[in-house]
Chains A and B, each alone.
Chain A
Amino acid sequence: MFIRTPHVRRLSSAAAVLAAVAVSTLFAAPARAAGDGYVRLAHLSPDTPAVDVYLRSTTNAIKPQTFKGVGYGAMSDYLRLPTGTYQVAMRKAGAPASTKPVITTQVGVQTGGAYTVAGVGRFADLGLRVLTDDLKLPDPGKSKVRIIQASVKAPVLNVAGKNGKTIADGVPFATTTAYREVNPGKWSVQVVPTGGGKTSVLPCTLGAGSVYSLVVLDDKAGGLKPELHVDAERQGTVPLGGVATGDGGTQPASPMPTALLLASLAAVVTGGLVVLLRRRLRAV
């Protein structure tokens, strides 16, 4: 009654604003800092000349970046980027940034996600493709490998170990296989064009728990050039569970023993008192 309604309204709106500010400061900052993902860029179009690759965030999360003179077969390291949407554009090498790009695409980066943005196909139908890279830990004692087929000279090819273990069969040009778990160790990877042609052999060592992409490129001499890229790496066995790193010296001692002692003392004293009291009363 003493507070008039306009005051109440003003007060409540002020409270609402305060709450909104509190909520936004509490949750906004961690949300921005929390998420990071990975993006790498590649040029996998055999007959496309070198390009300049432009990377910019649609929300200005990073400064725009330009990578000059990226030629066929080049694949960058992963760039660690805050979550959000990014635009990737390719222009002819040396073309001013103001000109219209040859191709563009967008990639949405999620927390912990990894993406390969690659120019693929022939120059005539050049496209920017976003590949999702699964960098998760493979099953214990396994490696993960996939094939990125960027050879137009061998439009379809098979990939296998020299011992006959198949990695992928019938992979067409400009496609990427899913990751496949294989045994780690020394491999002689054979890349065989199904349409006939020279087989290429790539000796390599795969580490347990690591993730690889085998990129098959056209060789300048007319053959195939397989290249192994490490997508994600680790060493050693994977320990199970957490680590026992504390003996509790900074924790308060458990109150239970003392509490129990005190409780039993209290029980004895009180019980005794009641008995005594009753005897006294009865005696009187």
Chain B
Amino acid sequence: MPDRADAAADYVAVGVASVPGALSWPRRRASVCVRAAPVETAPVREVFPLRAPAPGSGSSGTAEPREKPDHPVRNRGLWRRAALPALAAALAAFVVGTTYVAVANRTDRPEAGPDLGRWAATGQPAEGAGTAGRAAGDPFGSASVDAPGEPTRIRIKTIGVDSPLETLHVVKGTLEPPHRFDRAGWYADGTAPGDTGPAVIAGHVDSKAGPAVFYRLRELVPGDKLEVLRGGTVVTFTVTRTAWYPKTAFPTGAVYGPTPDRQLRLITCGGVFNHALRSYRDNLVVYAVAG
């Protein structure tokens, strides 16, 4: 009698939930009834094979326990069904994404090499960064004559720069960049180019549209000449060295520190461009000394 009751319960349960309950073991006997729900028999036996046979008391409590195991099994089936497509999708996404990035980077590289432009035409740069020329005047008793007036223009023939100068100031502690992309600017609260000390001229490397005034600054090498116009007189500087610094480790002392002679620093950006911050990681600093 209890067996029959179980079988009946099974029948109902299978038909409704398509899932076995605590009483799966007696099911073999109940196979008669299974006809009504033939589809789901196989998983039933497989999933709970070790389930102890229900005692006689089962009949009343069967409905409830049966409901619980319901979901995990159904979910597991879902997972299993979803696993393969998900895996395939993830794999495809990975392959396509990385391939695109690799291809994009490779095609970008050759275009992004502007450094050749200058070397292709000219030969070796002049050597001896302004050391010989400076000793011409007698260092004893020389009263250094400062050029009059504000600096108005910078010319660097080797890289085709000829730009009027904006005036730049310190805003919130840092030196503001020039307002226009096609113009360089000089740090007007600091040393003027041609006076004793470290004068600073900054210019953009590029705008959103393309190259800006100091785009080719990276091509400068020690020995290159540059000119700053001051009130009708031309002050000539000679590049002594160039250096790249991460903006996070900018050498304030070396760039803005006091100097015993008339010096000039040209500053622009470079290095890795951070698309999220719309900012370059590095600053390029070109050091030059008068003469």
- Nearest residue (CB) in A for B84 is A274
Which of B39-47, B63-71, B130-138 forms contacts with chain A?
Answer: B130-138
Given contacts A250-B210, A254-B275, contact A243 B92 (CB under 8 A): no
Say yes or no: is A19 at the interface (Cβ < 8 Å to chain B). no
A-B pair count, CB < 8 Å, reads 258
Taking CB atoms, residues of chain B closer than 8 Å to A258 are 100, 104
Contact for A239 among B91, B170, B245, B258, CB less than 8 A: B170
Check if A255 sits within 8 Å of B101, measured CB to CB.
yes
Which of B14-22, B28-36, B184-192, B229-237 forms contacts with chain A?
Answer: B184-192
Q: In the complex, A230→B259 CA distance in Å?
A: 10
Check if B131 sits within 8 Å of A82, measured CB to CB.
yes
Which of B50-58, B115-123, B157-165, B211-219 forms contacts with chain A?
Answer: B211-219
Interface residues of A in 60-101 (CB under 8 A from B): 62-63, 65, 67, 70, 74-82
Check if B134 sits within 8 Å of A80, measured CB to CB.
yes
Check if A245 sits within 8 Å of B258, measured CB to CB.
no
Q: Per-residue CB proximity of A220-246 to B under 8 Å, as 1/0?
A: 000000000011111111111111111
Q: In the complex, A223→B130 CA distance in Å?
A: 41
Say yes or no: is A173 at the interface (Cβ < 8 Å to chain B). no
Taking CB atoms, residues of chain A closer than 8 Å to B191 are 233-236
Which of A1-9, A33-41, A161-169 forms contacts with chain B?
Answer: A33-41
Distance (whole angstroms) from the CB of B87 to the closest CB of chain A: 9
Q: In the complex, A265→B195 CA distance in Å?
A: 62
Q: In the complex, A267→B88 CA distance in Å?
A: 7
Q: In the complex, A38→B210 CA distance in Å?
A: 41
Given contacts A234-B257, A249-B206, contact A80 B177 (CB under 8 A): no
- Nearest residue (CB) in B for A207 is B258
Check if A76 sits within 8 Å of B245, measured CB to CB.
no
Given contacts A33-B222, A136-B253, contact A255 B140 (CB under 8 A): no
Extra 14 A-B pairs, beta carbons < 8 Å, given A230-B196, A246-B204, A272-B85:
A34-B241, A40-B260, A77-B140, A230-B260, A237-B190, A238-B252, A239-B174, A239-B187, A243-B175, A244-B279, A247-B181, A250-B205, A271-B89, A274-B89
